[in-house]
């Protein structure tokens, strides 16, 4: 068995057991199968477990949770960039923060679409979340290297990746 086939079989078994025993909620095995694909497994698990619903969630709810968390981050960080823009007196910096405000607002639109698709269980059509990572980098790259915002970009990257892999995992079962 190739390793790809093996990973796919394990994924299918995990999904199957989650469906058969939905009352067990999201197990550590499922979280590990999803989060091991991201850049930082521990952070991904911590992000998902930060929502109290995760313990008793089924997979469709986990998708909604991952997108709710992403949405909350985009909203909070969008407001921060609005403040950074308003607070800066340097015109170049003001323009760069303006690019971030626009980027985070584009993210909010893409997350809203993904949430609607998740509610309809159309996981295969959730395919714009990868662009959030590009938008976050495009914002950060326009800012000075000592900008206090690099932490925002890092957590946005990890929260986006977490949502990407949760929703890819759901495609295996729900299509």
Of 17 and 155, CB closest to ligand NAG: 155
Separation CA 57–CA 27 (nearest Å): 10
> How many residues of this chain interact with ligand NAG, rule: CB under 6 A?
10
Among 24, 83, 119, 150, binds ligand NAG (CB under 6 A): 83
Of 72 and 134, CB closest to ligand NAG: 72
Among 47, 66, 70, 84, binds ligand NAG (CB under 6 A): 84
Look up residue 45 and give its two tokens. Answer: 């698990």
* Span from 39-47, 81-89, 96-104, 128-136 in contact with ligand NAG (CB under 6 A): 81-89
* Span from 45-53, 77-85, 91-99, 139-147 in contact with ligand NAG (CB under 6 A): 77-85
155 binds ligand NAG (CB under 6 A): yes
Interface positions with ligand NAG (CB under 6 A): 72-73, 76-77, 80, 83-84, 87, 152, 155
């Amino acid at each position: 068995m190739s390793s790809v086939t093996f990973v796919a079989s394990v994924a299918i078994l995990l999904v199957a057991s989650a469906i058969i025993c939905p009352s067990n909620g999201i197990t550590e095995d499922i979280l590990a199968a999803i989060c091991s694909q991201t850049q930082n497994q521990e952070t991904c698990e911590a992000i998902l477990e930060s929502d109290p619903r995760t313990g008793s969630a089924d997979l469709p709810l986990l998708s909604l949770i991952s997108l709710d968390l992403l949405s909350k981050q985009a909203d909070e960080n969008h407001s921060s960039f609005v403040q950074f823009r308003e607070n800066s007196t340097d015109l170049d910096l003001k323009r760069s923060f303006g690019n971030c405000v626009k980027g985070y607002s584009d993210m909010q639109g893409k997350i809203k679409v993904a949430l609607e698709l998740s509610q309809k269980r159309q996981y295969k059509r959730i395919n714009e979340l990868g662009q959030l990572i590009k938008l976050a980098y495009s914002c950060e790259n326009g800012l000075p290297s000592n900008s206090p915002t690099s932490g925002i970009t890092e957590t946005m990257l990890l929260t986006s990746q977490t949502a990407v892999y949760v929703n890819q995992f759901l495609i295996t079962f729900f299509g």
